[in-house]
């Protein structure tokens, strides 16, 4: 199937990109792995595509103190394979490795994925668990928002017209932390029916710190703070985990589609949360 | 408005004026006249269109030709050298890793990427690496056999 | 599993040889339909109904026509005299709706073609499609076959408000009496859900009309080029010898290309109207919406038996979802289910009633197995239901009921004659491979640990080599012509049309053995009605059993002629032919095939009563179907938490008669099993109540990926068929037919401690989780 016609621009600076994006019918082409299929099905028809691959400063993964800074145009494959990411933020590498397939990971970018805000995307679970922040730039300056503020709803973000995601920041994982991302795969698309990310730090045999992120369950990914609270201070036994995850979907308006009913998704959220926590606990030192 | 692009295609530079919306797969098949990369879907699932761009396996249905400007593209037509099949091609033939052959060029390009990144994959790793390529004929078993066999040959 | 190198041993049949087809396929140089480029070619894009049922109040094509680059736009009014799209099946009282190639004033399913735009390239054609304006009046629709036959359901075709296309009844023996007196009766409703064939290459058509000599060439991704030629010529009102159909490389068919669709005639019409070649390549979305679907059964089975497990009689009420129209064989497919319903079990009392139901969906038709998977799934499930009722072992109950070895040829209750069989052999072999006793012990242990482990058996039979002409709508024979060229090289023209099954290789093996030539000296041609003599095509696991047999007989004829020329050259009346040469049995002098062929064409001298040249043609009519069989065993474990099924082990022991190339046979079984696995676990073509296909893309319809399938262990027993001299039976569909019941039986077995007797496909994790939840409650 054939997309509608459009103009194509390859800005060589952020300023140029902003100028092009001031047109409300312009759209960013980051990795294109969601956008191009939508254009082919004519569900999206931008008049201008602004390809960011030539814009300096949007790539690269840097360590700055205890923060890992990931450029918006960094591909899933770069994240999955980067020794720096695997060492300093293994959860992010694990999330990236779970996205789509090899070809998609070679092209798709973290910035593109976030800006698209698919409710079944893999990153948001981990980014919530990591309490990531998203740096946004616009002609009038920059701002940084938390992942929780960035992801507003299904296919909706905090990006204002003309704004761009330029960087995602995550903390360097604590020494001895255990992390895991567990995903129930929608067999046709490879997206997450439910995906849960867990970060666990133990101290003296007890869970001292827990962060849990959930994707796919509802229209927007979220951090399961209730689960975290119930985990912290326990030894992370099966019964502790079972108690902690029991209410993970409480008050959540669960998605309901041909791939999973709302009730089953709620159940899967509990199962996969438990699996992610068990794996993270076992990996935590 | 058409854009002029220059692509190094299977080792040769080629320059064309293309509509920005021209998909890389259509550029390869219709502008450049190749028949190896195939079209099997429009949702970036099937992988029949897989080619290599700057050494990375991509779905050429999910990339515009203008995005390949200045880059190196290798298709199945560019794998054999001096009349000698690439070890992955050879292994697909020997292990009966294909039946109708429609998915095969993409499957071979994805397998090549897999072995470049992981020269000694387990069967599970092979299957994981081929998740982006659908085959309706073989049940994948002989494809796994082919990739394993190619790994052995390339490592030898 | 290494392939052997090709050597001239004279016994290539039976060897694991690399395929001759592959060099072009692995280098990207094969020519599929979309690879055909013709000078001045236009592209067609088809506007399709977004509604399952709607009136068309009007169509405005003026904007589309004005769009730069658009050559023509046609609507139903332009093509009302073309067609109809043919139904080749006939049943008593069958209602056949007139199937126009473009909708007239009403559409009947989502995807129904309404208008076609012809433009200079496919991008322009697609753009202009958005400019065609249709004034729609949506109507109520019905997509579920059981709802369609309820009173008051929307009528798919207003002229037939009951939505029933046909009723079909078949009966043998004293069914009522046996059921009334039976010690045990078990009943089960079993669904074989709608499936979407999904060959990796979608359909496609290129049409090229040469006005000067009034000849039309149609390139189409087809399994049946000759039948397509006859039928499309009729549709277009042209002579069949003015139409050439070429099926180039075909990227998988699985039955979905055993058909003639609106688009072949539509592209022919456009080429003739515009005087320019035209290409249409189906999008994947169109493939989901408009290419035939498979299965679509709701079956009500009843089995009568003795307490010792002896099966006595079977009843079946079969509700077939036909969709909105009859494609080529649509109404015939469920009748194959009836033929196959007793499976390989020895009982004589059967009754079957089919209700063929119209729905506002795309038509169903032949999909890998075509009627036999549904029947086999039914009988194999019912045998397990009976075994559970009687607390018998599923292997034991099967062994008890198999048609015995001394009963062949065996007349079935449905009027077939099974050619040969040793049904216990593959089951014993499979049981041995899995070490059945230990497996059951392991299961006992697993259950004690609270794990849900299951062992499933299916012992299937099937009807292959379709088929004798009286049983096949368009003729069931096959043809082969063999020509030894002046150089001694051999050219074969076969009426079959492979789509990946590898007959260029297997047929070359047969030729190489018979003529003593190298595999590389043989060229096998197929798929072009101007090159190949009339033939039927590839479907119903017929290509080798019938097409290969026609080839075999043509070769016998040819060898006689070779010997005559050899005798002339060697000036001897005592010659034999072997190893590619004629030998004078007295002097030992030899003449090789190139000498003989050269002499036959040079024709300076001819043997008595012999024509020049070395060509022989055979049209072979098979005396019967063939009946392969086998046993599959599947070991599963169900995840208590999620309901997900893990296949721990899969063993397939098939008996397809004599094997020509084991590598190819194994490939067919592996691929077939995975298609059956797709049905068992993942695939379901779901229409919602308004008739929208909600699994209409690869994003939502899950065909198995490499990560979703287990290792498949294959083995064979060999029971040659007496039906043909090659002893072959056919293997294209066996894997699919055997797989779904073995997997479902395994999962039912896994959940049997919860009281589960039956599960409908696909066995999605959620459907099993609901059962597990119910059991916990």
Which residues have C-beta within 8 Å of that of residue C628, sequence separation ≥ 6?
A: C461, C462, C464, C541, C654, C655, C656, C657, C729, C730, C731, C734
Among C25, C665, C697, the residue to mutate for chain B (most B Cβ within 10 A)? C25
Crossing angle of helices B104-117/B87-94, nearest 10°? 120
Q: How close does chain C come to B149, measured CA to CA in Å? A: 10
**Omega of the bond leading into C84 within 30 degrees of 0 (cis):** yes
What number is the average pLDDT over the span B13-25?
98
pLDDT tens digits along A128-137: 999 999 999 9
Q: Do B42 and A8 touch (CB under 8 A)?
A: no
Residue C254 touches chain B, beta carbons under 8 Å: yes
Find out whether A123 and A191 touch, Cβ atoms under 8 Å: no
| A36 contacts in chain B (CB < 8 Å) | 23, 44, 61-64
CB atoms near residue C66 (< 10 Å): 10
Whole-model pTM over 0.80: yes
Q: CA C722, CA C203: separation in Å to the nearest integer?
A: 37
Q: Do A77 and B56 touch (CB under 8 A)?
A: yes
DSSP C213-235: GTEEEEEE--S-HHHHHHHHHHH
Give residue C9's pLDDT: 47
Residue C23 touches chain B, beta carbons under 8 Å: yes
A228 φψ region: left (φ > 0), alpha (ψ -120 to 50), beta (else): alpha
Among C180, C261, C181, C162, which Cα is nearest to C221's?
Answer: C261
pLDDT tens digits along A163-172: 999 999 999 9
Q: Do C199 and B136 touch (CB under 8 A)?
A: yes
Give residue B156's pLDDT: 63
Residue C667 touches chain B, beta carbons under 8 Å: yes
Task: Return the percentage of chain C with pLDDT > 70, whole number.
Answer: 99
CB atoms near residue C520 (< 10 Å): 11
Q: CA C326, CA C323: separation in Å to the nearest integer?
A: 8
Q: What is the 3 state secondary structure string of A133-157? A: EEEEEECCEEEEEEHHHHEEECCEE
Tokens 């779970």 locate to: A98
Q: Is the dihedral of CA B143, B146, B152, C1 positive or negative?
A: positive
Q: How close does chain C come to B42, measured CA to CA in Å? A: 7
pLDDT mean across residues, chain A? 97
Q: Do C709 and B139 touch (CB under 8 A)?
A: yes
Crossing angle of helices A262-283/C765-776, nearest 10°? 90
| B60 contacts in chain A (CB < 8 Å) | none
Find out whether C338 and C171 touch, Cβ atoms under 8 Å: no
Residue B135 touches chain C, beta carbons under 8 Å: yes
Please state the length of chain A: 285
Q: How far are the Cα atoms of A100, A190, C705 from residue B46, in angstroms, in the given order?
A: 12, 12, 10
Q: How close does chain C come to A158, measured CA to CA in Å? A: 27
Q: Which two tokens stand for residue C318?
A: 């079969």
Q: CA C93, CA C91: separation in Å to the nearest integer?
A: 6
Residue B113 touches chain A, beta carbons under 8 Å: yes
| A273 contacts in chain C (CB < 8 Å) | none
Tokens 């433009």 locate to: C119
Give residue C777's pLDDT: 79
Using only C-alpha atoms, chain A has a radius of gyration, in whole angstroms, of: 19
Give residue B155's pLDDT: 81
What number is the average pLDDT over the span A57-84?
97
Q: CA A185, CA C122: separation in Å to the nearest integer?
A: 35
Q: Do A41 and B43 touch (CB under 8 A)?
A: yes
The continuous run of DSSP H or E covering C582 comes out as strand C581-584
Give residue C8's pLDDT: 42
Find out whether A194 and A121 touch, Cβ atoms under 8 Å: no
Sheet containing strand C490-494, edge to edge, reads C522-525, C490-494, C478-484, C615-620
CA A239-A220-A260 angle, to 5 degrees, is 65
Q: Do B41 and C27 touch (CB under 8 A)?
A: no
- According to DSSP, residue A267 is labeled H
What number is the average pLDDT over the span A91-95?
98
Which residues have C-beta within 8 Å of that of residue C392, sequence separation ≥ 6?
A: C309, C386
Residue A63 touches chain C, beta carbons under 8 Å: no
| C283 contacts in chain B (CB < 8 Å) | 42
Give residue C528's pLDDT: 98
Q: Do A33 and B62 touch (CB under 8 A)?
A: yes
- Alpha helices (H) along C276-343: 284-290, 333-340
Q: Which two tokens stand for residue C638?
A: 């169900």
Residue B34 touches chain C, beta carbons under 8 Å: yes
DSSP C643-660: --EEEEEEEEEEE-BS-S
Q: Which two tokens stand for residue A133?
A: 């922040």
CB atoms near residue A58 (< 10 Å): 22
For chain C, which residues score pLDDT lower than 50?
1-9
Q: Which two tokens stand for residue A81?
A: 């394979």
Sheet containing strand A178-185, edge to edge, reads A178-185, A192-203, A206-215, A222-223
Give residue C10's pLDDT: 60
Q: Do C26 and B41 touch (CB under 8 A)?
A: no
Measured between CA atoms, the residue of chain C closest to residue B128 is C707
Measured between CA atoms, the residue of chain C closest to residue B47 is C200
Find out whether C43 and C122 touch, Cβ atoms under 8 Å: yes
Residue B122 touches chain C, beta carbons under 8 Å: no
CB pairs under 8 A between B and C: 178
pLDDT tens digits along A77-87: 999 999 999 99
Tokens 């899933």 locate to: A76
Q: Do C769 and A267 touch (CB under 8 A)?
A: yes
Residue C604 touches chain A, beta carbons under 8 Å: no
Q: How close does chain B come to C630, measured CA to CA in Å? A: 19
Among C26, A132, C147, which Cα is nearest to B79's?
Answer: C26
Q: Do C702 and A260 touch (CB under 8 A)?
A: no
pLDDT tens digits along B116-133: 999 999 999 999 999 999
Task: Return the percentage of chain A with pLDDT > 90, whole number.
Answer: 99
Q: What is the 3 state secondary structure string of C344-367? A: CECCCEEEEEEEEEECCCCCECCC
Give residue C362's pLDDT: 98
Give C 675-694 residues with CB within 8 A of chain A: 682, 686, 694
Q: Which two tokens stand for residue C474?
A: 């368009």
DSSP B14-67: EEEEE-TT-BHHHIIIIIS---SS----SSS-S-TTEEEETTEEEEGGGSBGGG
Measured between CA atoms, the residue of chain C closest to residue B143 is C706
Among C88, C98, C97, which Cα is nearest to C160's?
Answer: C97
Q: CA A121, CA B67: separation in Å to the nearest integer?
A: 24
CB pairs under 8 A between A and B: 85
Tokens 């990375």 locate to: B56
**Alpha carbon of residue A250 to chain centroid:** 22
| A187 contacts in chain C (CB < 8 Å) | 682, 702, 705, 708
Find out whether C101 and C82 touch, Cβ atoms under 8 Å: yes
Among C3, C27, C29, the residue to mutate for chain B (most B Cβ within 10 A)? C27
Q: Who among B77, B101, B142 is closest to C500 (CB)? A: B101
DSSP A164-223: EEEEEEEEPPPTT-EEEEEEEE-TTT--EEEEEEEEEEEETTEEEEEEEEEESSBSS-EE
Residue C212, class by beta-carbon neighbours within 10 Å (0-12 exposed, 13-18 middle, 19+ buried)?
A: exposed
Q: Do C766 and A1 touch (CB under 8 A)?
A: no
Q: How close does chain C come to A271, measured CA to CA in Å? A: 7
DSSP C110-124: TT-EEEEEEESSHHH
């Amino acid at each position: 199937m054939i997309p509608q016609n459009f103009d194509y621009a390859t800005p060589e600076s952020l300023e140029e990109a902003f100028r092009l994006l001031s047109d409300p019918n312009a759209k960013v082409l980051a990795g294109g792995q969601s956008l191009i299929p939508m254009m082919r099905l004519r569900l999206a028809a931008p008049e201008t595509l602004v390809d960011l691959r030539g814009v300096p400063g949007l790539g690269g993964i840097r360590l700055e103190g205890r923060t890992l800074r990931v450029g918006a145009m960094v591909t899933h494959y770069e994240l999955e394979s980067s020794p720096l990411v695997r060492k300093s933020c293994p959860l992010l590498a694990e999330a990236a490795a779970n996205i789509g397939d090899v070809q998609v990971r070679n092209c798709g970018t973290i910035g593109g994925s976030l800006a698209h805000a698919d409710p079944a995307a893999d990153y948001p679970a981990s980014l919530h668990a990591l309490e990531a922040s998203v740096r946004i730039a616009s002609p009038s300056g920059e701002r940084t928002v938390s992942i929780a503020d960035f992801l507003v709803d299904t296919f909706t973000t905090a990006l204002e017209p003309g704004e761009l995601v330029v960087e995602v920041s995550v903390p360097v994982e604590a020494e001895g932390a255990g992390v895991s991302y567990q995903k129930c795969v929608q067999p046709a698309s490879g997206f997450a029916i439910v995906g849960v990310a867990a970060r666990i730090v133990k101290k003296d045999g007890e869970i001292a710190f827990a962060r849990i992120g959930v994707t796919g369950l509802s229209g927007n990914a979220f951090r399961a703070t209730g689960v975290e609270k119930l985990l912290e201070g326990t030894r992370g036994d099966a019964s502790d985990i079972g108690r902690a995850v029991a209410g993970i979907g409480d008050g959540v308006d669960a998605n309901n589609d041909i791939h999973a009913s709302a009730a089953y998704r709620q159940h899967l959220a509990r199962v996969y949360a438990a699996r992610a926590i068990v794996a993270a606990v076992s990996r935590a030192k | 408005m058409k854009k002029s692009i220059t692509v190094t295609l299977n080792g040769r530079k080629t320059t064309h004026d293309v509509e920005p919306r021209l998909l890389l797969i259509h550029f390869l098949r219709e502008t450049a006249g190749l028949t190896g990369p195939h079209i099997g879907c429009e949702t970036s699932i099937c992988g029949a269109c897989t080619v290599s761009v700057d050494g990375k396996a991509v779905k050429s249905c999910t990339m515009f030709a203008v995005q390949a400007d200045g880059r190196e593209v290798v298709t199945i037509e560019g794998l054999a050298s001096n009349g000698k099949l690439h070890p992955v091609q050879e292994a697909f033939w020997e292990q009966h890793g294909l039946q109708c052959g429609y998915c095969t060029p993409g499957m071979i390009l994805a397998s090549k990427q897999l072995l470049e990144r992981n020269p000694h994959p387990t069967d599970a790793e092979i299957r994981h690496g081929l998740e982006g390529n659908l085959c309706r004929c073989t049940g994948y078993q002989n494809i796994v056999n082919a990739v394993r066999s190619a790994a052995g040959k390339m490592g030898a | 599993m290494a392939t052997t190198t090709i050597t001239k041993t004279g016994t290539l049949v039976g060897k694991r040889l690399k395929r001759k087809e592959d060099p072009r396929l692995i280098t990207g140089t094969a020519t599929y339909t979309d690879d055909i480029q013709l000078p001045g070619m236009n592209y067609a894009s088809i506007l399709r109904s977004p509604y399952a049922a709607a009136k068309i109040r009007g169509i405005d094509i003026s904007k589309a026509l004005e769009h730069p680059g658009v050559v023509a736009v046609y609507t139903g009014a332009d093509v009302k005299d073309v067609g109809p799209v043919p139904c080749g099946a006939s049943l008593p009282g069958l209602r056949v709706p007139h199937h126009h190639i473009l909708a007239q004033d009403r559409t009947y399913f989502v995807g129904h073609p309404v208008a076609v735009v012809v433009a200079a390239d496919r991008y322009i054609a697609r753009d202009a499609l958005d400019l065609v304006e249709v004034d729609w009046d949506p109507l109520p629709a019905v997509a579920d076959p059981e709802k369609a036959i309820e009173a008051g359901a929307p009528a798919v075709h207003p002229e037939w408000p009951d939505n029933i296309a046909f009723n079909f009844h078949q009966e043998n023996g004293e069914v009522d009496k046996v059921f009334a007196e039976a010690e045990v009766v078990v009943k089960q409703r079993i669904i074989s859900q709608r499936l979407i064939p999904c060959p990796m290459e979608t359909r496609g058509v290129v049409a090229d009309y040469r006005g000067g000599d009034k000849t039309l060439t149609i390139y189409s991704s087809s399994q049946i080029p000759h039948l397509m030629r006859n039928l499309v010529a009729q549709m277009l009102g042209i002579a069949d010898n003015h139409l050439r159909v070429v099926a180039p490389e075909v990227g998988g068919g699985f039955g979905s290309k055993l058909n003639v669709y609106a688009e072949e005639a539509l592209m022919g019409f456009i080429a003739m109207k515009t005087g320019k070649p035209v290409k249409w390549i189906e999008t994947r979305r169109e493939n989901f919406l408009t290419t035939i679907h498979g299965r679509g059964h709701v079956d009500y089975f009843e089995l009568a038996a003795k307490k010792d497990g002896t099966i006595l009689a079977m009843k079946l009420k079969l509700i077939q979802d036909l969709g909105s129209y009859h494609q080529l064989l649509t109404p015939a497919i469920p009748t194959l289910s009836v033929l196959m319903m007793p499976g390989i079990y020895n009982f004589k009392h059967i009754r079957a009633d089919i209700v063929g139901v119209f729905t506002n969906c795309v038509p169903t038709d032949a999909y890998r197995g075509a009627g036999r998977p549904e029947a086999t799934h039914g009988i194999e499930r019912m045998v397990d239901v009976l075994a559970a009722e009687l607390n018998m072992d599923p292997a034991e109950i099967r062994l008890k009921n198999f048609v015995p070895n001394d009963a062949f040829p065996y007349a079935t209750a449905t009027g077939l004659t099974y050619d040969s069989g040793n049904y216990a052999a593959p089951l014993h072999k499979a049981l041995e491979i899995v070490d059945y006793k230990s497996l059951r012990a392991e299961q006992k242990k697993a259950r004690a640990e609270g794990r849900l482990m299951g062992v499933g058996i299916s012992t299937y039979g099937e009807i292959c080599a379709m088929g004798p002409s009286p049983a096949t709508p368009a003729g069931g024979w096959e043809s082969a012509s063999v020509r030894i060229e002046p150089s001694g090289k051999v050219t074969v023209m076969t009426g079959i049309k492979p789509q990946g099954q590898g007959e260029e290789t297997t047929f070359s093996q047969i030729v190489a053995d018979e003529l003593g030539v190298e595999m590389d000296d043989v060229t096998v041609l197929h798929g072009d009605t101007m090159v190949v003599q009339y033939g039927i095509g590839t479907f119903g696991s017929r290509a080798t059993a019938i097409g290969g047999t026609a080839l075999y007989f043509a070769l016998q004829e040819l060898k006689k002629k070779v010997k005559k020329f050899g005798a002339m050259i060697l000036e001897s009346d005592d010659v034999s032919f072997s190893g590619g040469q004629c030998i004078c049995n007295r002097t030992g002098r030899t003449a090789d095939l190139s000498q003989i062929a050269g002499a036959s064409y040079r024709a300076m001298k001819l043997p008595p009563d012999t024509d020049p040249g070395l060509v022989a043609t055979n049209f072979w009519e098979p005396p019967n179907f063939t009946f392969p069989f086998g046993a599959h065993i599947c070991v599963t474990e169900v995840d208590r938490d999620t309901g997900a099924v893990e296949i721990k082990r899969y063993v397939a022991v098939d008996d397809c008669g004599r094997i020509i190339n084991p590598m190819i046979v194994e490939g067919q079984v592996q691929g077939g099993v995975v298609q059956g696995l797709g049905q068992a676990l993942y695939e379901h073509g779901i229409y919602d109540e308004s008739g929208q296909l909600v699994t209409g893309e690869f994003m939502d319809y899950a065909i198995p990926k490499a990560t979703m399938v287990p290792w498949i262990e294959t083995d064979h027993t060999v029971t040659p068929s007496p039906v043909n001299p090659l002893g072959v039976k056919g293997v294209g569909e066996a894997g699919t037919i055997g797989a779904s019941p073995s997997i479902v039986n395994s999962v039912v077995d896994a959940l049997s401690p919860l009281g589960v007797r039956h599960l409908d496909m696909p066995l999605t994790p959620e459907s099993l989780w609901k059962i597990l939840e119910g059991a916990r409650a």
